[in-house]
A = this chain, B = another copy of it.
Amino acid sequence: MSLETRAQGWRTLAALQQRIETKIEKALQDHHDLSVNEFCLLHHLSVPGGPSTRMQHLAEMLVLSQSATTRLVTRLENRGLVKRVLSAEDRRGIYAEATESGRELHDRAVPTHNEALEAALREAEGLPELTPLVSALETLALKVQPLSGLEAQP
């Protein structure tokens, strides 16, 4: 397979991705006043066992810069959804954790996210050219099931 072919597939996937993310963004914004990044941050802090995560770790998971993460946490902190906890051992480190109302908002937002995704996928399947792509995503979701979190490479 040529590089060009793969690149063409990649750009098509990126466009589809963008379209679906836009739909999810609007749904989350309309119903809960949350951006996708804000939702993902709450998701990481609400779901996993360790409810307390370092700023830099959040930046890696969300694929954001440090500064964007700082302000993302600040925004949610100002809304009382997240709180900063200073680390005792390493006083440079700051942990973010979800508050009770943060977890509540997350629980309400999860169905919105999932239903918007379902709707977007169904819609995308309607376009004949995208059908194989969408069905590949379905397979993909199966395979990724046991994934715990994303780590960045150095």
Chain A residues within CB distance 8 Å of chain B: 1, 3-22, 40, 43, 61-63, 110, 113-115, 117-118, 123, 126-127, 129-130, 132-133, 136-145, 147-148, 150-153
Contact = CB atoms under 8 A, between A and B. Distances in A.
A15 B63 contact: yes
Given A21-B14, A61-B15, A9 B127 contact: no
A141 B10 contact: yes
Given A142-B5, A145-B5, A152-B19, A10 B127 contact: no
A9 B63 contact: no
Contact residues of A: prevailing secondary structure: helix
A3 to B, nearest CB: 4
A133 B140 contact: yes
10 contacts: A1-B142, A5-B141, A6-B117, A6-B118, A6-B138, A7-B110, A7-B117, A8-B145, A9-B140, A127-B153
A126 B110 CA distance: 31
A112 to B, nearest CB: 11
Contact of A114 (B3, B13, B138, B152): B3
**Sorted from nearest, which 6 A-B pairs have the closest CB atoms?**
A9-B141, A18-B63, A132-B143, A3-B114, A9-B144, A6-B141
A132 B153 contact: no
